[in-house]
Amino acid sequence: MSTVIRNGTVVTADLTYKADVRVDNGVITEIGPDLKGGTELDATGCYVMPGGIDPHTHLEMPFMGTYSSDDFESGTRAALAGGTTMVVDFALPNPGESLLDALKRWDNKSTRANCDYSFHMAVTWWGEQVFNDMPEVVKRGITTFKHFLAYKGALMVNDDELFASFSRLAELGGIALVHAENGDVVAELTAKLLAEGNTGPEAHAYSRPSQVEGEATNRAIMIADMAGVPLYVVHVSCEEAHEAIRRARMQGKRVWGEPLIQHLTLDESEYFNPDWDHAARRVMSPPFRDKKHQDSLWAGLMSGSLSVVATDHCAFTTEQKRMGVGDFSKIPNGTGGLEDRMPMLWTHGVNTGRLTMNEFVAVTSTNIAKILNCYPKKGAIMVGADADIVVWDPEKEKTIAAATQQSAIDYNVFEGHHVKGLPRFTLTRGHVAVHDGEIRTQEGHGKFVAREANAPVNRALSTWKELTAPRPVERSGIPATGV
């Protein structure tokens, strides 16, 4: 039987118009006025939008001596509660492990997902095995490969490895992702701060100034340009990184930037809270920054130089955070946000006039669906698209509180923030997972979304190869040697 979303206003990245939307077997089958029949979902006063896509999560991730505490079940339940209907998680090979073995572990974990998901593959080490595994990973629908320029001695790859991996990706029609912070400098600053007795969570911010992010972002852009691979920079938190991305885009390089909802709405003052737990709960990399950087990120979203808002959802309990009492470098890095990304961005973006509703849809869903090459299956309200839909009530309000959240952890970094604009219904491939605020998720409903390589966006020029690659000069008068 059909489900019909009635009396709402459809909002896509391009258009706003009154229409009903019919869903059959998980797919949108009809859009138009006064659709009859089927089970009705009343969208009076609401906007009918593509469900959110969060392209940056770490669910049940082994990291810094522990595992992130939201798994694919609680994480995707939190996502749906907040209007997000697809997540993209990072498969993380151990040192020396084959990419395909890492993928197997992620396949196993993800069987519990409540909504659809895809993966990025992380390149955490480099060698023949990785080089040889990459085509098979692409064949399995994973075309995006993440590289950490930070976490020295753990996840970090060096520049030679970065160039080799980027070049391989260019051949395969993939997209390179980077966590852009200079891991060597971070390691030096961390050691210096600890030696000087700076052991509290605030020192985490001192150890990762915006310059380390600006440097690494510039470096990654230049290396991607030489390799001729498109580049997606995750968690852009500062003006220096944004400036590099802006400049690259102006030069015609295929580069995208992804700010997080946390960096857009929370600032570095959180680290100076006298409560150790409060500060440690907000330790993530890159750290929260000051207003100058926040303004830059908002300007990037408004002008289009930044393309996607994500969360980097990586949730640790207070107990886990306390692994770093006496040494900030042992505080597991990460914050949550899956349930709050859409309401927080609506509240601070649309309600303030910084973003139009269409821009909101673009940066929470449609842009990333296009970049990841799963549009219009995802990110669209269109006949034939998956019925991943959020019916958004702009009048619905709440104060964010850990006590009422879906996430498995015991606090929320947005605790006490008031939001206006929340889902009335969230549909994941037609299943109504949020019904008038009531959670009706189905464990295991989520399916893997395979993505193809060689989409138009998966190509970039190499200004190095095309314009300045070395060409040997033919010479006649070669001087004698050894004189």
| Residues near ligand DUC (CB under 6 A) | 58, 179, 284-285, 312, 314, 333-334
C-alpha to C-alpha distance for 380 and 385, rounded to whole angstroms: 6
| Binding flag, residue 54, Zn ion (CB under 5 A) | no
Least Å from the CB of residue 56 to ligand DUC: 9
Say how far apart CA 375 and CA 216 lie, in whole Å: 30
Coil, strand or helix at 199: coil
Q: What residue 313 binds from ligand DUC, Zn ion, none (CB within 5 to 8 A, per partner kind)? A: none
**Nearest distance in Å: CB 417, Zn ion:** 4
Closer of 147 and 246 to ligand DUC (Cβ): 147
Under DSSP, the state recorded for 356 is -
- Is residue 71 involved in binding Zn ion (CB under 5 A)? no
Which stretch of DSSP H or E encloses residue 144?
strand 144-148
Map residue 391 onto helix, strand or coil.
strand
The reply on whether position 312 binds Zn ion by CB under 5 A is yes
The terminus-to-terminus CA distance of the chain in angstroms comes to: 91
What token pair was written down for 186?
A: 């971070």
Question: Which of 42, 17, 21 has its CA nearest to residue 32?
Answer: 21
Which CB, 4 or 368, lies closer to Zn ion?
A: 368
Q: Based on CB atoms, which residue is closest to ligand DUC, 120 or 179?
A: 179
The site partner of 417 among Zn ion, ligand DUC, none (C-beta below 5 to 8 Å per kind) is Zn ion
What residues pair up with 426 in beta bridges, in sequence order?
390, 434
| Nearest to Zn ion of 48, 233 (CB atom) | 233
Structure token pair of residue 267: 């600032």
Strand residue runs (E) in 180-332: 231-233, 255-257
Closer to ligand DUC by CB, 166 or 316: give it: 316
> What is the spatial distance between Cα 283 and Cα 321, in angstroms, rounded to a whole number?
9
Size of interface with Zn ion, in residues (CB under 5 A): 3
The CB-of-187 to Zn ion minimum distance in angstroms stands at: 16
Partner whose binding site includes residue 334, from Zn ion, ligand DUC, none (CB under 5 to 8 Å by kind): ligand DUC
* Closest approach of ligand DUC to the CB of residue 285, in Å: 4
Cα dist. 39→4, 42, 50, 313, 430 in Å?
Answer: 6, 10, 20, 34, 12
Residue 179 binding Zn ion, by CB under 5 A:
yes
CA distances 1 to 26, 295, 435, Å, are 11, 48, 18
Give the interface segment with Zn ion, choosing from 12-20, 118-126, 178-186, 361-369 (CB under 5 A): 178-186
From the list Zn ion, ligand DUC, none, partner contacted by residue 249 (C-beta under 5 to 8 A by kind): none
- Residue 333: contacted member of ligand DUC, Zn ion, none (CB under 5 to 8 Å, by partner type): ligand DUC
The CB-nearest residue to Zn ion is 179
Smallest distance from the beta carbon of 179 to ligand DUC, in angstroms? 5
Choose the one of ligand DUC, Zn ion, none that binds residue 264, judging by a C-beta under 5 to 8 angstroms depending on kind: none
Q: What angle do CA 395, 308, 376 make, to 5 degrees?
A: 85
Minimum distance from residue 10 beta carbon to Zn ion (Å):
28
Closer residue to ligand DUC in complex, CB, 69/366: 69
Amino acid at 453: A
Which residues, 6 or more positions from 59, have their beta carbon under 8 angstroms from its beta carbon? Answer: 68, 70, 71, 72, 75, 76, 87, 89, 109, 313
Task: Report the residue number, 179 or 242, with the smaller CB distance to Zn ion.
Answer: 179
CB of 349 to ligand DUC, least distance (A): 22
120 binds, among ligand DUC, Zn ion, none (CB under 5 to 8 A by kind): none
The b-or-e profile of 392-429 (16+ CB within 10 A means b, else e) is bbbebeeebeeeebbbbbebbbbeebebebbbbbbbbb
Using the structure block, give the residue that is written with the tokens 């049940």: 60
Nearer to Zn ion (CB atom), residue 132 or residue 399? 399
Nearest approach in angstroms of CB 133 to ligand DUC is: 22
- Relative to beta strand 47-50, strand 389-399 is antiparallel
Contact flag: residue 89 with Zn ion (CB under 5 A): no
Instruction: Give the nearest distance from C-beta 325 to Zn ion in angstroms.
Output: 24
Looking at the Cβ atoms of 148 and 425, the one nearer to Zn ion is: 148
Helical (H) or strand (E) element with 393: strand 389-399
Q: Is 417 in the site for Zn ion (CB under 5 A)?
A: yes
Nearest alpha-carbon partner for 298 in 347, 334, 348, 370? 348
Check: CB of residue 433 under 8 Å from CB of residue 440. Answer: yes
* Residue whose Cβ sits closest to ligand DUC: 284
Q: Which stretch binds Zn ion (CB under 5 A): 45-53, 162-170, 172-180, 449-457?
A: 172-180
Residue placing its CB nearer to ligand DUC in the complex, 238 or 314: 314
Tell the smallest beta-carbon distance from residue 83 to ligand DUC (Å).
Answer: 23
Q: Per the structure block, which two tokens stand in for 353?
A: 């006039």
Minimum CB–partner distance for residue 314 and ligand DUC (Å)? 4
Q: Name the 3-class secondary structure at 159.
A: helix
Contact positions vs Zn ion (CB under 5 A): 179, 312, 417
